């Protein structure tokens, strides 16, 4: 995200380099990555809260 906001089209990470043709291509790649991250996180379906007065 920082690279995109700075207008950088070539990103290097872990010894690998990726050059995007345009901002739209980088936006699509980031959107896909975000969808993958969201898809791997477990969603909490039920939250139970329990409290007592300590008696």
Where do the structural domains in the chain lie, given as residue ranges? 2-40
pLDDT string in tens for the chain (55-residue length): 777 778 888 888 899 998 888 888 888 888 998 888 887 766 777 888 888 887 7
Spatial contact of 38 and 31, defined as CB atoms under 8 Å apart: no
The total number of residues written for the chain in this structure: 55
Query: What is the DSSP annotation of the chain?
Result: -HHHHTT--EEEETTEEEE-SSHHHHHHHHHHHHHHHHHHSPPP-----------
The pLDDT value given to residue 21: 82
């Amino acid at each position: 995200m920082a690279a995109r906001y700075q207008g950088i089209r070539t990103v290097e990470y872990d010894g690998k380099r990726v050059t995007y043709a345009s901002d739209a291509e980088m936006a699509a790649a980031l959107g896909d990555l975000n969808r993958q991250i969201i898809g791997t996180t477990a969603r909490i379906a039920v939250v139970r809260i329990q409290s007592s007065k300590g008696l």
